Structure 1
Amino acid sequence: MADATDHAFYDRADAHIELSNEQLKTFENLGQVSASMTFGTTRFNAWASARSFKSGAEMADAREALLKYFTDQYRLMLEDNLDDHINNFSQYMQVKAAPTAE
């Protein structure tokens, strides 16, 4: 993941999240908005990857390495974010503590 001092990394990520949050105000279907964001990310990553090749055949030869790289990166980032949400669930989800018996 990005170095902690790379604030621009998080600013760019937050801009994408903000767009998805705005879409939720109109579409209200979390699964559809999430799927669109994931599709957009994969499409952008395929295009960005293609820029470093001279031909489709050359890119095809690197297909498995590209899949491994991107799936490994996604898994690492998802693990970090899942752990963050597990550890900060009450804060992020604004869960109120259950009332205690008196």
Structure 2
Amino acid sequence: MADASNQAFYDRADAHIELSNEQLKTCENLGEVSASMMFGTTRFNAWASARNFKSAAEMADAREAMLKYFCDQYRMMLEDNLDDHINNFSRYSAVQAPE
């Protein structure tokens, strides 16, 4: 994973979140916007991963390792963010409560 203590890391993440928030202005379905963001992330990660290989066969051999890496990273980041929202629920939900 990138160095999460690096401000540029958070700035890039915030830019993606800002784009999703903008999309919510024209698509009120939060699940659809979330799914699009996740799909875009997986598509970008597949493309970025492919750049590290010389052939499809070489990439295919590393497929399971890549899946494990990305799934482990996603789970770790999701756990951190879920814990953050649980620990700060009152503060975060005061901003935007679901109907």
**Do they superpose with TM above 0.5?**
yes
Q: Deviations over 1:40-82 (max 9, x none)?
A: 0000000000000001010000000000000000000000000
| Secondary structure, aligned partner of 2:52 | coil
Matched, 1:91 2:75: no
What letter matches 1:35 in structure 2?
A
Unpaired runs of 5+ in structure 1?
Answer: 96-102
CA distance in 2, matches of 1:39, 1:57: 24
Q: TM-score, normalised by structure 1?
A: 0.89
Matched, 1:41 2:49: no
Unpaired runs of 5+ in structure 2?
Answer: none
CA distance in 1, matches of 2:31, 2:53: 34
CA distance in 2, matches of 1:24, 1:3: 27
> Looking at CA atoms only, which structure, 1 or 2, has the larger radius of gyration?
1
The total of aligned residue pairs comes to 94
Cα RMSD after superposing both structures: 1.1
Q: TM-score, normalised by structure 2?
A: 0.92
What letter matches 2:71 in structure 1?
T
Q: Which has the higher contact order (CA 8 A, sep 6+)?
A: 1
| Secondary structure, aligned partner of 2:25 | helix
% identical equivalent positions: 83
